[in-house]
Amino acid sequence: MLKRIALIIAICLCQLVFSGSVSAAETYHTVKSGDSLWDIAIQYGTSVEKIKQLNQLSSDNLQIGERLCVKVTSDQKPAATPIIEAGATYYVVQSGDSLWKIAQQFGTSVEKIKELNQLSSDNLQIGLKLCVANASVQAAPAPATQPAAAPIENTAPPVPTDNYYIIQPGDSLNSIAAAFNTSVVMLKRINNLTTDVINPGCVLKLSLEDSEVSRGGSAVNNSITASILNTAMQHLGTPYRYGGSAPGGFDCSGFVKYVYSQNGYNLNRTAASQYSQGTPVSKAELQLGDLVFFCCGSSSIDHVGIYIGNNEFIHSSSPRSGGVIITNLGESYYLNSYAGAARIVQ
């Protein structure tokens, strides 16, 4: 009898230990109003892809009250270390990796990794074995362990290097634009972004570079033109104000005068007089930073904007149009009222 009781107790203890280990190994989150897979992944130090895999989700849509498995301890593996085979160095892609992050870790470049592995895009699959250095170029060994990331504070992003910024967890286009004195529209435009969604580890270009500005001209002029365009883009969305020539509100010539004054040029106050200050250029010869003029309300020049490429110009339009906006020269209203162009930066 005593043996039977002891056996039953032993079985119960085994069951308790087993169930406890399963419970301890899995972490769950109950979806609340406002939650997204991205928010939950950041909260638990995992990835959207991992959560979707654990819960067999086929979309990012969530239901309030839904219970999600967000982490399985037994499924976590130590950080991968470099693999040396036949003199070449390899690395196995982990969750959250990007080509830029791996290149930094092994002291190489994204282009070199793509060349060694014949990659045509930056997309990576978890578990993919990448060659990060061939036999003739040995990469620096990756550390066996890496320190835990410091808590994210509500501070401005770190200073960028060479006009680029690495996106941090918790960043948004709005916060980056505010920190680096630019605009969301500018960031999206120069990075070819079609949405406001950004991912940690990706790299953003913060402003136009000299080489992107002009088909010709000196490096000095290109630098000035790039600065003019960056200044103009920072004021997208500023309301229209008749007679305005400051960031609180602009009319068309006030906007152009302000942008150029921030870059060392003292332009006249009206659109017509600004036209007389520059060197006339044909529409076919337009370069970035040139001024484009229109006769909108009469037979004389009464509107001006700054050409930004791709047949578009930035200008302070009207209260109804949204103030400082970007418009295509091909729009019928401006196509029919186009009066000419002038180059200020020679």
Burial of 12 (0-12, 13-18, 19+ CB in 10 A): exposed
Take residue 113 and report the two structure tokens written for it.
């990794």
**DSSP labels for 10-27?**
HHHHHHHHHHHHHHHHEE
Q: Which helix (H) or strand (E) holds 38?
A: helix 37-44
What is the distance between the alpha carbons of residues 159 and 232, in angstroms, rounded to a whole number? 22
Among residues 12, 131, 202, 303, which one is catalytic?
303
Among residues 14, 69, 202, 252, which one is catalytic?
252
Half-sphere exposure of 109 (CA within 13 A, CB side): 3
Closest CA to 50 of 28, 33, 82, 72: 72
Residue 163 corresponds to which amino acid?
N
What is the distance between the alpha carbons of residues 201 and 335, in angstroms, rounded to a whole number? 43
The answer to whether residue 252 is catalytic is yes
**DSSP labels for 41-77?**
HHHHT--HHHHHHHHT-SSS---TT-EEEEEEGGG--
The answer to whether residue 296 is catalytic is no
Instruction: Characterize the bridge pairing of strands 279-281 and 338-343.
Output: antiparallel
CA angle 138, 142, 147 (to 5 degrees): 160
3-state secondary structure of 338: strand
Take residue 310 and report the two structure tokens written for it.
């791709």
Instruction: Characterize the bridge pairing of strands 324-328 and 312-316.
Output: antiparallel
Closest CA to 42 of 168, 156, 179: 168
Among residues 69, 131, 202, 315, which one is catalytic?
315
Half-sphere exposure of 286 (CA within 13 A, CB side): 20
The answer to whether residue 29 is catalytic is no
Q: What are the catalytic residues? A: 252, 303, 315
